[in-house]
Amino acid sequence: MLEINSLAPDFKLVDQNQKIHQLSDYLGKWLLIYFYPKDNTPGCTKEACGFRDVYKDLREKLQILGVSADSPNSHQKFAQKYQLNFPILSDVDKKVIHQYQALGLKKMFGREYQGILRISYLIDPKGKIVKSYDKVKPNLHPQQVIQDLKSLQSK
C-alpha cells in the first residue's frame, strides 16, 4: 500500500468512453480511486453497483474512478450493463496498477498467482493519499468510504 500523506502517483488512462483521465484533472476535488480484478465478476460487480448507488448523492463531494486491466470495450459493456455513473479506467499494461501497488500475490483453489488486488485510495483535493483500503469487502466498501469522507471533511 502507498503511504498515507504521500502524493498520489500521476496517471493517464482511458475510460469506457475513450476519454483520457489524469490525476491533475481531479486536483481541487476529493477522489476515490479503486482497483478491481475484472469486469463482470461477482465481487467486482457488487462493488461497482454499490458505488453507482451512492454516487448519486456524492457527486458534489467526491469523484470516483474504477481501474482494472480490462479493455475500454469491456469497460463500456460493463458500464452499460450495470448503468455505472462514473468512469472506469483501462490499464491494460498494468503500469498504473503497479504504481498504486495494486498488483500482488493472490490465491485461488490452492494456486498462487500475480493478480490485481482489490484496494482503494481516498485522495484529498491537494493530491495526497489520506486513506487506503486493502482487503476490501465489495458489499461494505461504499459505506466505509462515505463514513471516512464525512469524517475527513469535517476536520
Q: How far is CA 113 from CA 16, 26, 84, in A?
A: 27, 33, 29
Do 35 and 119 meet the contact criterion of CB atoms below 8 Å apart?
yes
**Burial class for 109, CB neighbours closer than 10 Å (0-12, 13-18, 19+):** exposed
In the residue annotation, 49 being an active-site residue is answered as: no
- Secondary structure class of 32 (helix, strand, coil): strand
Do 11 and 24 meet the contact criterion of CB atoms below 8 Å apart?
no
Quick count: other Cβ atoms within 10 Å of Cβ 40? 13
The alpha carbon of residue 99 and the mean position of all alpha carbons in its chain are separated, in whole angstroms, by: 13
Closest CA to 30 of 117, 126, 134, 116: 126
Select which of 23, 32, 33, 44 is catalytic.
44
Residues with catalytic function:
44
